Structure 1
């Protein structure tokens, strides 16, 4: 009797394990797993290196980074061109400015939506002060930024001087173009660590 009960219990546990394994195997992988890059607190500007990947853990956003150029002129300053509206999941970095982690205001851009799909920066409005932004760079290093503030602006009143104006420290601006309201969202961040 005890042997039969033990057999039934072990068979039931095995079946549960198989079922759990099947459920796990069927669950799609997280497209934006949290960044696991090791880093240390250090706000010292880094040497220039092209960025290759962006991760924002709090809003579950990630993307490779493609270089982008200049867009329309606003108040004597050029806006940054966004990646194609047909690829809203793609983020870009402004190749004419500083690279993320180097001294100055590095600029990364993306879309809120496009072609009826959510863009890489669809959740950027939920970013708050203290959130971490990780940028992996081509030289193997990692630049870690902390959000200091956000501002929503009309495209025709884009604060180009505040976005592109020189800074003494390594800073980052994320610009989310578009959205239902038509306004742009700018997230300001500063370098807090590197790895």
Structure 2
């Protein structure tokens, strides 16, 4: 049986990334740079010559559009696409829509850093990374991983924190290790699985 690929891509730069705002479940579109990042991701993935079986995205436009642009650039735009809020970005609660620098001035840089980068402390009214993982991982294990076991090639276009939660599982990272992980926008990550569903190789397509 052939090896199976799972490709993870964080959406291209969003309008709120550019403005340095906490985005969470808010729904800005992509910037021109973000669109270009998605196109470049598609070209990198196209070089792998993989025939995908499913695209999974969050319900947020920046992830859906990134996925659609990638499919166009790999000539698979009719691919079955599945949207689910389980793959949404971490919910930032009271911080959503606020400028990150202004938040540091209001609450202090140390407190904002704790909210952003600790594993189990969330912002006021929002999710911690741990809580984000508690919705991402069951969705992956119930909906995506069974397809990998069937030999299906999967593309996931999602968000920094939902993908960190998934990578924590795939790479067997500790809570201390995962909070240090940064995922750039538009940078595909390939996991190659054997026919038993074990990860053989991980490749960052942009170093």
TM-score range, shorter chain: under 0.3
Of structures 1 and 2, the one scoring higher in RCO (CA 8 A, sep 6+) is 2
Structure with higher helix content? 2
TM-score by length of 1: 0.25
TM-score by length of 2: 0.24
